[in-house]
Amino acid sequence: MSPDSTPTDAEAACFEAGIKFGTLYHQFAGTPVSLESAPSLATAIGESIENQPHCTTVTVDVREDELAAALEAGPADYTELTGRFLEVEIVVDYEGCEVVTRMAMEDGYPLMRLEEVHGRE
């Protein structure tokens, strides 16, 4: 580990992973989404975030049961995309350090979590 305040490669990898999650959520939250349009939105989210530097894979699943339940409860056949409708895994590789991150529901809120860090020196 770095003896001073200089970031390690593993720390930089975690910073990069966080950027991807913040980007994903705040770029796409609020997008009009229905059961029909959810698959194309999930594909576009994944492919757009994978453009960002050091991003290995972005896996986006729309929780269709949750979306269907929300649409049944509301007056329209579409709603706004928000965290409760998403399951996301992002893997980042920075200088040989691989970081695995996930967004999962916890206590009714979407929580972005740093799960694994591999390849520290």
Compute the distance between CA of residue 61 and CA of residue 57 in angstroms, rounded to an integer. 13
**Looking at beta carbons only, is 65 or 76 nearer to a second copy?**
76
Least gap, CB of 19 to a second copy (angstroms):
4
65 binds a second copy (CB under 8 A): no
Nearest-angstrom CA–CA distance, 76 and 108: 23
Residue 1 annotated as binding site: no
Which of 70, 104, 105, 114 is the binder for a second copy (CB under 8 A)?
Answer: 114
Helix (H) or strand (E) holding 110: strand 109-118
Question: Counting contacts by CB under 8 A, is residue 25 touching a second copy?
Answer: yes
Helix (H, G, I), strand (E, B) or coil at 1: coil
